[in-house]
Structure 1
Amino acid sequence: MSFLTQLRQLVAQRGTTPTRLADVVGIARPNLTTTLAGKHDTRGSTLEAIAGALDAQWVLVPKEHLAAVQQVLEGRDAGPDRAAKAAVDLLLEKKP
């Protein structure tokens, strides 16, 4: 998933509008729109400001970790089930 795709998805998830986001970042709405469309090269500082306004962080991911990060971003992380009861809790439940 491309950076711009992730950025557009985050804008939608946060429920903000391009106008509101542009105001927070301090750029003109047409400039934000062309940035989100990928129609011009955008400075890193602008991307950093957009990410900050969306309560996110712009990071580089080494290729050897990219597959794991993509799984997390897609909600397919195979991490621990934090809602599952611990073994000790299950053991204590069995006691009369």
Structure 2
Amino acid sequence: MPFLVQIRALMRERRLGLTVMAERLGVAHQNLGASLSGRHDARSSTLDGAADALDAEWVLVPRESLAEIRGVLASKRVGPLVREQSPAFSRSSGRTL
């Protein structure tokens, strides 16, 4: 699941809207929306702030370990990866139906 999709999924899961996230990060909600939609490149400091606001960490996982990590997260029923495996989740749009 692409990184920005994960951030938006976690925002939904934590019930944090764009305005609240922008306030926590100290940025305009229009700018945050453009970054999270991929219209603008997000700065690493913005992504760090988003992770902090979501009480999360971002981690690089080698591709050869990705399936195992996804399995561990799915078995614990945590995070946006759980939605990805749900039948109500549309892979093409990244949205819960």
Fold equivalence (TM over 0.5):
yes
Structure 1 or 2: larger strand share? 2
Question: Which residues of structure 1 form unaligned runs of 5+?
Answer: 79-96
Provide the aligned C-alpha RMSD in A. 1.5
Separation of aligned partners in 2, 1:72 and 1:20: 30
| Seq. identity, % | 47
**Structure 2 unpaired stretches of 5+:** 77-97
Name the larger-Rg structure. 1
Aligned-partner Cα distance in 1 for 2:70–2:35:
22
Distance 2:18 2:30 in 1: 9
Partner of 2:91: none
Once the two structures are TM-superposed, the CA of residue 70 in structure 1 deviates from its matched residue by 2.4
Offset at residue 11 of structure 1 (A): 0.3
Larger RCO: Structure 1 or Structure 2 (Cα < 8 Å, ≥ 6 residues apart)? 2
Shift of 1:4: 1.1
Kindly provide the CA deviation profile for residues 52-91 of structure 1, in whole angstroms up to 9, marking residues without a partner as x.
1000011111122111222344x2x38xxxxxxxxxxxxx
Q: Structure 1 length as normaliser, TM-score?
A: 0.72
